[in-house]
Structure 1
Amino acid sequence: MKNKQGVNCEYCVNYSYDDDYECYTCEMNLDEDEMYRFVTGTNHDCPYFRMGDEYRVVRKQM
């Protein structure tokens, strides 16, 4: 059995708050299958996942 490691969108740099929809959304242009997995929470191997680093900008300022 393949061990699936879950992807948590909250840590992805592509996951941001949308003021128009008043919720968090994925900024990537997802196709129909990817959008289904995103909405149902079954996107275990998201090809667009990039770990966000909110302190990256602060480190550059030092």
Structure 2
Amino acid sequence: MAAEYSKCEDCMYYEYDEEYGVYACIMDLDEDETARFIGGTFSDCPYYRPGDEYTIVRRQM
């Protein structure tokens, strides 16, 4: 992602992938959505759900 702030950073579905060592969207994106996500132009994501570290940790437990 670009260095600027994006909504992905506070989304419930944006998690750290330990295997690859990067943050990524865990939703099953189609090919076009994946290209927009990687290119940093995924500003109007239909899957966006606000979350903070507490919400995400509760979901992972």
> TM-score, normalized by length of structure 1?
0.73
Residue 22 of structure 1 corresponds to 21
Residue 9 of structure 1 corresponds to 8
Q: Unpaired segments of 5 or more residues in structure 2? A: 1-5, 57-61
> TM-score, normalized by length of structure 2?
0.74
Seen in structure 2, the aligned counterparts of structure 1 residues 56 and 16 have a Cα distance that, compared at 3 Å, is closer
| Superposed displacement of residue 53, structure 1 | 2.8
Higher alpha-carbon Rg: 1
For 1:20, the aligned partner's letter is E
Q: Unpaired segments of 5 or more residues in structure 1? A: 1-6, 58-62
